[in-house]
């Protein structure tokens, strides 16, 4: 905890804001109360196997075993996600991580977890943004659940274009830019974290790599999951490093 006077100075120069509506909020809050309620996605609205509101389990092979999401990728959450991706406000990562940790703590569906692993971002993009938002989510969950956060296992090469710019066939191929280091994961149950779960391809590719290194189960945790509603704006465009 920072001394009181340091905190007041921080509040003057860098006031804490709700990432969704941009209103000023108390220094110990991560979102305003109204946005917190609106952004929350009911745990039971999401399929525990694929992590989608409209289940995709019958449509594709997924390498992860279980999934959960904190929010819908929807009107209420999009501004918060954009601010997180544009290095403007990372409170959404903390908000989502706290919900996910709470659900994992009480969820009989997910079983024991040995470590938390973020979906990696290419190093040059991470330098540009200042952080990998999936890692912010993973670290907060790991802290809350007293688990190790392993950021050394998976890595990403710079070849891929942003998933949302591609069609279905290109998307499946594009995930080949994910790689794993030669670290044994024998029998480990891993919580894999990402910001937005769209097609499941990214999580599935990373889960497959983790299993090839010996992981016995992978639980996919997403801050937000896209929902099947028409006329929704696409996720913010990202520059390929």
- Token pair 């706290």 in the structure block, residue: 98
- Token pair 């809350």 in the structure block, residue: 144
DSSP state, residue 108: T
**Least distance to Zn ion from the beta carbon of 97, Å?**
18
Q: Which helix (H) or strand (E) holds 103?
A: helix 91-106
Point out which residues bind Zn ion (CB under 5 A): 18, 20-21, 32, 35, 47, 49-50, 55, 57
Considering the complex, state which of residue 95 and residue 178 has its C-beta at the smaller distance from Zn ion: 95
Considering the complex, state which of residue 31 and residue 116 has its C-beta at the smaller distance from Zn ion: 31
**Least distance to Zn ion from the beta carbon of 200, Å?**
9
**Least distance to Zn ion from the beta carbon of 25, Å?**
7
**Least distance to Zn ion from the beta carbon of 4, Å?**
25
Phi, psi of 180 (to 5 degrees): -130, 145
Q: Which helix (H) or strand (E) holds 123?
A: helix 123-129
**Least distance to Zn ion from the beta carbon of 77, Å?**
11
33 burial type by CB count under 10 A (0-12 exposed, 13-18 middle, 19+ buried): exposed
DSSP state, residue 214: T
Q: Using DSSP, state whether 180 is helix, strand or coil.
A: strand
Considering the complex, state which of residue 43 and residue 49 has its C-beta at the smaller distance from Zn ion: 49
Q: Tell me how far the alpha carbon of residue 67 is from its chain's centroid.
A: 12
């Amino acid at each position: 905890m920072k001394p009181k006077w340091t905190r007041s100075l921080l509040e003057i120069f860098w006031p804490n804001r709700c990432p969704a509506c941009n209103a000023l909020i108390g220094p110990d809050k991560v979102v305003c109360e109204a946005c917190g309620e609106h952004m929350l996605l009911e745990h039971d609205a999401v399929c525990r196997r694929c992590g989608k509101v409209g289940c995709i389990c019958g449509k594709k092979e997924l390498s992860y075993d279980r999934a959960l999401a904190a929010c819908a990728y929807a009107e209420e959450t999009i501004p918060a996600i954009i601010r997180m991706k544009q290095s403007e406000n990372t409170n959404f990562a903390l908000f989502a991580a706290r919900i996910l940790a709470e659900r994992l703590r009480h969820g009989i569906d997910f079983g024991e977890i040995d470590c938390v692993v973020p979906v990696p971002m290419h190093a040059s993009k991470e330098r540009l943004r200042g952080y990998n938002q999936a890692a912010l989510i993973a670290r907060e969950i790991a802290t809350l659940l007293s688990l190790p956060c392993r950021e050394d296992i998976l890595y990403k090469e710079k070849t891929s274009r942003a998933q949302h710019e591609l069609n279905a066939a290109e998307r499946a191929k594009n995930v080949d830019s994910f790689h794993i280091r030669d670290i044994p994961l024998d029998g480990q149950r891993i919580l894999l974290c990402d910001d937005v779960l769209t097609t499941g391809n990214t999580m599935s590719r990373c889960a497959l790599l983790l299993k090839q290194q010996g992981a016995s189960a992978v639980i996919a945790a997403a801050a937000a999951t896209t929902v099947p509603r028409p006329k929704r704006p696409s996720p913010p465009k990202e520059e390929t490093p």
